[in-house]
Structure 1
Amino acid sequence: MVRGDKQVIRFLGVQTEKPFAVDGVVHDALGNPVSGVAITFEQTDNGSKSTVVTGPDGRFVRSNLSGVLKVTPQKTHWTFEPPYATVYEDTSLYFKGVQTTYTVSGYVEDEQGQPIERAVVTFVDSLNQVSTVLTNANGSL
């Protein structure tokens, strides 16, 4: 409590946490950079998030961070190792990405159950990328 008319009160602000930066790179299993990976920084205490995206060189950087953050890479049809990292100070991260692949097998036959050789089978994925294969003499893919 302050009384009187000639009191001077001074306040001193002190920064309790030093801002820090996180940089890193995302490569595939062969060491090639992976672009277009969303790197999400999530505050562990309140859940607030911010995101940066890797460039053509697979690199990312985010500065002026504080607190404890969960850093998570995400890209459709990819998994990452490690799946996330926890940071609280200047840190350089490395994530290895593996593209999700699928195997399709089967055979093509006519109405009489006979195999059809050289039948064209076309696959379209969720990104509208098209792949085409021909069946062998047994009608198999």
Structure 2
Amino acid sequence: MSGAPEPISAAAHRALEQELADLRDERRLVSGTLRQNGDVGDEADQADELRRADELDRLDRRIDVITERLRTAAQAGPARTDEVGVGSTVTVRFPDGSEETLRIGEAAEALDQTLVTADSPLGRALLGRRPGDPVRYGTPDGDATVVVVSIGADEG
């Protein structure tokens, strides 16, 4: 990741928007349980009140992170198609001749077998590559290679 605003895949964008909506709903529920007056009661009530206040802080921090990520993704625009970057789909060819189309993303998404995170060994090795480029990356079994076949914008 370059430090500049990075594109985000359509699927990741939808997932972040859904998480943001869920967090805002949860925040409304938690904030509704906080007592508005100073009369908190016994120590157990005080501990419970502190726990809810901590939960509210956690929710606020996560809401801020997601809001900022969505804002920077909007600034970045669509993923580049001239070289591999975050948000790209890339088709690679393995030494056995088989091909696979992968999405380059920031964070793993549940049950998405086509997503490669940008900070994984293959993801890091693919960033900045162009069609025809050979790519060497580390695996638990040793070095592996693929060749970039094509690059496209995220389709999901």
| Same-fold status (TM-score > 0.5) | no
Task: Specify which structure has the higher proportion of strand.
Answer: 1
| TM-score normalised over the length of structure 1 | 0.25
Task: Pick the structure with more helix per residue.
Answer: 2
Which one has more relative contact order, counting CA pairs under 8 Å at least 6 apart? 2
**Structure 2 length normalisation: TM-score?**
0.24
